[in-house]
């Protein structure tokens, strides 16, 4: 029997539930009374560390599905009969996308198309959220990006996200699907893996404070980003599927800071002089990068009554506190 027939609660299906956003979104939807299903490429071998960390694992029904494999996508959607589908799966590292461009671009566009096609083919009544990205815009030196700003991506990751964004917009226009993309700017949390620069800096500063080593090597300090707090952002995703009509929206704090400001803030919060501990190695820089990324989240405020609660200073404090807690727990 499909889950729809035995349930009165709303059913959500999250592709990519093992990731940072998948775990926080699952937590939010469970708190809202949803039945939550989620996919991983192979549920038998995935650790689901984030779901365990948030104590959600027993509350979620898991499925194996590979977004680029149409059969697995259509089967899971047909089986779950979700009221809402969230596409959060895919290769999410901009840096890695330069080394794995085909998988990143292919996964981004084909994966999203497979979900759209499955919804269209099955004719199910569902609402679809797609994870787009600030990387679609490239540099925004002319002024903070709005939903009307043209895309000029500067990475294979951004190219894949831009293509998927237009596929969603096309299926909405052509077939009347309730489908929309959140154009999310960077959002961080303790669930981010160590390869991301914010975690690298937080963990590096704490290691230096513990005298494990003296220098942290970064590729640059001059790039500027709009950094937010992931739990705030999944709230915006959920709100996007409760609107009266689907609309692509920017989700961001509206504040842009340089990486140097981020470093300075982290190191000063752990009582270190950052200049003594940072070294620059230009070989770590990406072949092409976004130097300045800024956003105007005004439309999301208007449509969703949403704005980021956690801004730069408290974001940094939260990341440090969470890492200290993780270390205490690990002994
Ligand atoms: P994560 O990397 O934490 O999670 C994505 C999930 O996708 C993984 O848990 C993994 O699940 C699956 N995945 C990883 N690599 C691949 C691959 N090569 N092919 C297919 N699936 C893969 O991402 P986030 O939770 O941080 O982000 C969620 C979505 O939002 C992503 O699409 C990301 O690109 C996008 N986004 C994120 C931003 C951010 O700042 N965090 C900003 C803007 C957009 P499993 O191993 O279980 O299959």
Supply the pLDDT for residue 330.
Answer: 83
Residue 307 CA, ligand 1 centroid: distance in Å:
23
Supply the pLDDT for residue 237.
Answer: 98
Is it the case that residue 120 has pLDDT exceeding 90? Answer: yes
Which is catalytic among the residues 18, 40, 92, 133?
133
Number of Cβ within a 10 Å radius of residue 248: 18
Is residue 213 a contact partner of residue 174, using CB atoms and an 8 Å limit?
A: no
Q: Which residue has its alpha carbon closest to ligand 1 atom 33?
A: 92
Residue 255 CA, ligand 1 centroid: distance in Å:
24
Hey, which of 14, 17, 21 would you mutate to test ligand 1's pocket, going by the most ligand atoms within 8 Å of its Cβ?
Answer: 21
Q: Is 133 a catalytic residue?
A: yes
Q: Is 292 a catalytic residue?
A: no
Arithmetic mean of pLDDT over the chain: 96
pLDDT (tens digit per residue) in 185-241: 999 999 999 999 999 999 999 999 999 999 999 999 999 999 999 999 999 999 999
Which carries the bigger pLDDT value, residue 118 or residue 330?
Answer: 118
What mean pLDDT comes out for the span 154-172?
Answer: 98
Supply the pLDDT for residue 7.
Answer: 54
β pairing state of 224-225 and 257-258: antiparallel
Collapsing DSSP to helix, strand or coil, 125 comes out as coil
Q: Is the CB of 266 under 6 A from ligand 1?
A: no
Q: Is the CB of 41 under 6 A from ligand 1?
A: yes
pLDDT (tens digit per residue) in 179-192: 999 999 999 999 99
Q: Is the CB of 131 under 6 A from ligand 1?
A: yes
b/e map of 278-290 (b: 16 or more CB within 10 Å)? beeeeeeeeeebb
- Cα separation, 141 vs 148, in Å, equals 15
Residues 6+ apart with CB under 8 A from 67: 15, 73, 87, 89, 90, 107, 110, 111, 112, 114, 115
Residue 196 CA, ligand 1 centroid: distance in Å:
12
Q: Is the CB of 311 under 6 A from ligand 1?
A: no
Residue 67 CA, ligand 1 centroid: distance in Å:
12
pLDDT (tens digit per residue) in 277-320: 999 999 999 999 999 999 999 999 999 999 999 999 999 999 99
What mean pLDDT comes out for the span 17-29?
Answer: 98
Beta strand extents in 113-271 (DSSP E only): 127-133, 178-184, 187-188, 216-218, 224-225, 228-229, 249-251, 257-258
Q: Which residue has its alpha carbon closest to ligand 1 atom 19?
A: 90
Q: Is the CB of 198 under 6 A from ligand 1?
A: no
Supply the pLDDT for residue 6.
Answer: 53
Q: Is the CB of 317 under 6 A from ligand 1?
A: no
Supply the pLDDT for residue 2.
Answer: 47
What mean pLDDT comes out for the span 165-172?
Answer: 98
Q: Is the CB of 296 under 6 A from ligand 1?
A: no
What mean pLDDT comes out for the span 18-44?
Answer: 98
Domains in the chain, please, with CATH? 11-189+227-254+294-310 (3.40.50.720), 197-223+257-290+322-330 (3.90.25.10)
Residue 89 CA, ligand 1 centroid: distance in Å:
5
């Amino acid at each position: 029997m499909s889950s729809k027939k035995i349930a009165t609660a709303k059913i959500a299906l999250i592709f990519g539930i093992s990731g940072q956003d998948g775990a926080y979104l699952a937590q939010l939807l469970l708190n809202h009374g949803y039945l939550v299903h989620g996919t991983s490429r192979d549920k038998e071998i995935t650790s689901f560390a984030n779901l365990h960390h948030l104590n959600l694992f027993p509350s979620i029904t898991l499925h194996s599905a590979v977004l680029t494999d149409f059969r697995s996508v259509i089967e899971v959607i047909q089986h779950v009969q979700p009221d809402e589908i969230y596409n959060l799966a895919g290769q999410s590292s901009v840096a890695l996308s330069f080394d794995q461009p085909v998988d990143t671009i292919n996964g981004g566009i084909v994966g999203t198309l497979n979900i759209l096609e499955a919804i269209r083919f099955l004719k199910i009544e569902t609402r679809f959220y797609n994870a787009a990205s600030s990387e679609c815009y490239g540099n925004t030196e002319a002024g903070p990006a709005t939903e009307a700003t043209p895309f000029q991506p500067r990475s294979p990751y951004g190219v894949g996200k831009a293509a998927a964004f237009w596929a969603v917009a096309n299926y909405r226009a052509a077939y009347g699907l309730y489908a929309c993309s959140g154009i999310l700017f960077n959002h961080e949390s303790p669930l981010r893996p160590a390869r991301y620069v914010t975690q690298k800096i937080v963990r590096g500063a704490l290691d230096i404070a513990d005298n494990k080593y003296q220098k942290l090597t970064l590729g640059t300090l001059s790039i500027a980003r709009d950094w937010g707090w992931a739990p705030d952002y999944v709230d915006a995703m959920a709100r996007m599927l409760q609107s009266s009509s689907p609309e692509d929206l920017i989700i961001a704090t509206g504040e842009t800071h340089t990486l140097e400001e981020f470093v300075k803030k982290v190191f000063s919060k752990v009582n270190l002089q950052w200049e003594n501990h940072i070294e620059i190695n230009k070989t770590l820089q990406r072949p092409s990068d976004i130097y300045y990324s800024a956003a105007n989240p005004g439309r999301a405020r208007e449509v969703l009554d949403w704005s980021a609660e956690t801004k730069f200073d408290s974001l940094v404090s939260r990341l440090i506190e969470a890492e200290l807690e993780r270390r205490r727990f690990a002994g």
